[in-house]
Homo-oligomer: A and B are copies of this chain.
Amino acid sequence: MNIGQASERTGVSAKMIRYYEEIGLLPSAARRANGYRDYGDREVAVLQFVRRTRDLGFSLEEVSALLALWSDKKRPSRDVKRLAETHIADLERRIREMRAVMKTLRQLAQHCHGDERSDCPILDDLAKPRAPSAKRARRT
């Protein structure tokens, strides 16, 4: 089948299918006499796998690792689980950060009239010079 059909069946845009091939995430697709890429059920399955892992937030690099694990029938399931849990931990960390930011923003917004008046605690706070306060997450 053509790339358009493969795209339609997997939800991966033709653009991205070509890109994945270009960066080596996918093997080079077979070509027909006219130069068109040709896809079969196996390729479609791989694309669905990629689509699914992308939807779960894995980076292309992680997807690549997952594809390798997938095709290696003898790899220990530990390897897969570790990758998944690392990703989960990453999501947890990002969510924690975002929640902290939200908390701050909510507090700021709460004290802002939000009407015609021009005085605004949000901007006042944003403009307040921060205490140097522990430069960065120090790892010492």
B80 touches A123 (CB 8 A): yes
A22 at the interface (CB under 8 A from B): no
Q: How many residues on chain A are close to B (CB under 8 Å)?
A: 54
Say yes or no: B105 contacts A88, CB within 8 Å.
yes
Which of A13-21, A32-40, A106-114 is near enough to bind chain B?
A106-114
Chain A to chain B: the 6 pairs with minimum beta-carbon distance, closest first: A81-B114, A77-B120, A81-B112, A80-B120, A76-B116, A84-B109
Q: List 17 A-B contacts (CB under 8 A).
A: A45-B129, A48-B129, A48-B130, A74-B118, A76-B115, A77-B112, A77-B118, A77-B122, A78-B115, A80-B122, A81-B114, A82-B114, A87-B105, A88-B106, A91-B98, A95-B95, A95-B99
